[in-house]
Amino acid sequence: MIKSKSAKVGDWCFVIVCILVSVICVVPMLNLLARSLSSTEALIKHQVYLWPKGWNFEAYSTVLSDMKYVRAFFWTVFLTMICTLVSLTMTTLCAYPLIFENLRGRSVINIFITITMFFNAGTIPNYLLMKSLNLLNNPLVLIIPSCMSVYNMIIMRSFFYGIPDSLRESAEIDGASYFRILVSIYLPLSKPVFATLALFYAVGRWNGYSDALMYVNKEIFYPLQLFLYNILNNINSVEVATQEGFSSPGLTESLKAAIVMFSTIPILCIYPWLQKYFIHGVTMGAVKE
């Protein structure tokens, strides 16, 4: 179809709107990057906008040589990997049996699960539970209490529903056990949903800090975000910077910028590659059965 001139002008208007929106999304990150790479002097004089002034990698080298930060970083990487693995396993264990329509007790189980989505006991009851399970100040508290999201389970279950029953039925006729069917039919076909949920769980753990704030007092178990929160609020400062007597506000500022940058990069590097998967996942979660 040939477009009229006014329609073409309209097209360009939408392009401009989108460019503006993208700029609003990106500017804070650019500003952060610029600050982390600028010299102390330029920062104190308020000269840094979107491009670094007086290139300076000191902030990054300081952060990288700060044992506390590096420790927190790798602890969080480790924690995130464990959490993702555990959560994916739990989610699969829950989603798979529920696709069998002739599973006895299925409707009761479904109600049992759904109630937890709409009613939450509250912060204090949860806290008292952790206390009575001896999970306070235990690194397991960062893994176990959040090891399955019912919402994500529903996403996985709708994905499983999309796998043709005939595949399963032919395997049943061949005498495969249900466990076998899961491992050799469902898991290999479910890469997209696993990629999506792995991303959701990993991002959740990487970005989460409230559980650590409430349940953990020992600084060695702090995930990166809580560590970062404390730095941003000057509750604790970077070890090296205080030890060696750097107290100039400019450096502290570029240090903070560099730390925020470091804490963001892993996720920013991963999510664009998984875009086509998570779009599908989000959409499935919104479709009700």
Partner 1 sequence: MKKEGKKAPVAQKKQSFGVYMKRYWQLYVLLALPMLYLLIFKYVPMIYIQIAFKKYSIVQSVWEMPLAANHGFEYFIKAFKNRDFINALRNTLVLNLLDLVLGFPVPIIFALVLNELVFKRFKRVVQTIAYMPHFLSWVIIYGLALQIFAPSTGFLNMILTGLGFESIPFLNDSAHWVGTYIFLGIWQSFGWNSIVYLAAIAGINSELYEAASVDGAGRFKKMWHITLPGIKPTIVVLLVMNLGNILGSSFDRPFALQNNLVMDSAEVLATFVYKNGIKGLQFSLTTAVGFFQSIVCVIFLLLANWISRKLGERGIW
- Residues 126-165, interacting with partner 1 (CB under 8 A): 126-129, 133, 144-145, 147-148, 150, 153
Using the rule CB under 8 A, is 206 a contact of partner 1? yes
- Scan residues 170-189 and list those touching partner 1 (CB under 8 A): 172-173, 177-179, 182
Which of residues 64, 82, 85, 203 is near partner 1 by CB under 8 A?
A: 203
Looking at the Cβ atoms of 240 and 281, the one nearer to partner 1 is 281
113-118, long-range: CB < 8 A, 24+ apart: 113/150, 113/153, 114/150, 116/150, 117/150, 117/151
CB of 220 to partner 1, least distance (A): 19
Using the rule CB under 8 A, is 221 a contact of partner 1? no
Looking at the Cβ atoms of 133 and 220, the one nearer to partner 1 is 133
Q: Which stretch binds partner 1 (CB under 8 A): 61-69, 94-102, 188-196, 238-246?
A: 94-102
How many angstroms separate the CA atoms of 166 and 285, rounded?
Answer: 24
Which of residues 125, 164, 187, 235 is near partner 1 by CB under 8 A?
A: 125
Looking at the Cβ atoms of 96 and 240, the one nearer to partner 1 is 96
CB of 213 to partner 1, least distance (A): 8
> In the chain, where does DSSP find H-type helix?
5-36, 40-44, 58-64, 67-95, 106-118, 123-132, 150-162, 165-173, 178-181, 187-189, 191-207, 210-215, 224-232, 239-243, 249-270, 275-286
Q: Could you tell me the maximum CA-CA distance found in the chain, to the nearest angstrom?
A: 76
Name the one residue in this structure whose structure tokens are 């989603």. Answer: 95
Which of residues 64, 97, 192, 248 is near partner 1 by CB under 8 A?
A: 97
Using the rule CB under 8 A, is 41 a contact of partner 1? no
Q: Provide the 8-state DSSP code for 236.
A: S
Using the rule CB under 8 A, is 229 a contact of partner 1? yes
Tokens of 212: 């650590």
Q: Which stretch binds partner 1 (CB under 8 A): 62-70, 109-117, 155-163, 185-193?
A: 109-117
Using the rule CB under 8 A, is 5 a contact of partner 1? no
- Scan residues 71-90 and list those touching partner 1 (CB under 8 A): 90
How many angstroms separate the CA atoms of 185 and 167, rounded?
Answer: 8
Q: Which stretch binds partner 1 (CB under 8 A): 6-14, 51-59, 155-163, 234-242?
A: 6-14
> In 37-164, where does DSSP find H-type helix?
40-44, 58-64, 67-95, 106-118, 123-132, 150-162
Total residues contacting partner 1 by CB under 8 A comes to 96
Using the rule CB under 8 A, is 55 a contact of partner 1? no
Spatial CA neighbour of 253 closest among 17, 44, 67: 44
Using the rule CB under 8 A, is 167 a contact of partner 1? no
CB of 112 to partner 1, least distance (A): 7
Helix 191-207 and helix 249-270, axial crossing angle in degrees, nearest 10: 160
